[in-house]
Amino acid sequence: MGLQQGTMSGMVWRRLAANRFALTGCVVVCLLFLLSLLAPFLTPYHPDAIDAYHVLLPPSAAHWFGTDELGRDVLTRVLFGARISLKVGFVAVGIAVCIGTAIGLVAGYYGGWIDAVLMRLVDIMLCFPTFFLILAVIAMLEPSIWYIMVVIGLTGWMGVARLVRAEVLSLREREFVMAARALGASDLRIIVRHVLPNALSPVLVSATLGVAGAILTESALSFLGIGVQPPIPSWGNILTSGKDYIEFAWWLSLFPGLSILITVLSYNLVGEGIRDALDPRLHR
């Protein structure tokens, strides 16, 4: 079993490495993660340092991405904003994956009325426009990055639940599950030891694509002013401050906008690459 899993893992990695778009996305994601970690050492400026003598300066050797309306270095704020976006993406998707995986496992494994009730709950949740539901919840709460992460996670698990349920419906009839039942293994042991490891492929793809969606949602909320609050730098609130000066200070909108575009595109490329690498029908 271990040798077979090792062989499959090596095959998936080879397929993923052969996909140039996915490989490029992986490189960009890793580079972005590294830049966000090393942000304090990569720039001599503080993200909140106000300089009234260098307001709205265009990109130059001293300020590669220019300065904003308070004289703050835009490159520094974009780098520190990457930390916020990545944190929101990973935490929100982690919450959604945990909830969706648990519900999908239970619904798919037990079936019957349990499956019917849980899937109707999924259908009800899908009826609500997710973004407007997030807007309503955030508007009733105090704007906070933690509330944003939790709300995005609690409203984004339905797709994961459906994917896991579909996978478990197939896995529960396999020989290794039936053998575990015959040996007297408990349902919990079968689900954790046998079903869950074999149902993680769609979860991995959904999680990768979900990070991109969470980053977009956080940026949209911050742009509307109900997300991450200034002076904490976020790509969304940097764009908000830039929209008032877009006619003559184009760099305030261009660079955070490009950061969002490149990051979301990279995660989507990685997710698509993982999905193709895990799909045996594409490699017959």
Low-confidence winner among 64-73, 109-118, 229-238 (lowest mean pLDDT): 229-238
Where does the pLDDT of residue 258 fall: very low under 50, low under 70, confident under 90, or very high at 90 and above? Answer: very high
- Options 1.10.287.3510, 1.10.510.10, 1.10.3720.10, 3.30.70.1140; CATH for 2-37+79-283 is 1.10.3720.10
- The single-letter DSSP state of residue 194 is I
In 3-state terms the chain splits into helix, strand, coil percentages (rounded to 5) of: 75, 0, 25
Alpha helices, DSSP H only, in 19-128?
20-37, 39-42, 74-110, 112-127
Where does the pLDDT of residue 4 fall: very low under 50, low under 70, confident under 90, or very high at 90 and above? Answer: very low
Write down the domain spans for the chain. Answer: 2-37+79-283
Residues constituting the chain: 284
Predicted local distance difference test score (pLDDT) of residue 274:
84
Predicted local distance difference test score (pLDDT) of residue 22:
85
Mean pLDDT of 113-132: 87
Is residue 140's pLDDT more than 90?
Answer: no
Predicted local distance difference test score (pLDDT) of residue 79:
92
Predicted local distance difference test score (pLDDT) of residue 9:
61
Lookup: tokens for 204:
């991995």
Indicate the pTM of the whole model: 0.84
Predicted local distance difference test score (pLDDT) of residue 2:
44
Mean pLDDT of 158-187: 86
To 5 degrees, how large is the angle CA 279–CA 201–CA 199? 120
Mean pLDDT of 224-243: 84
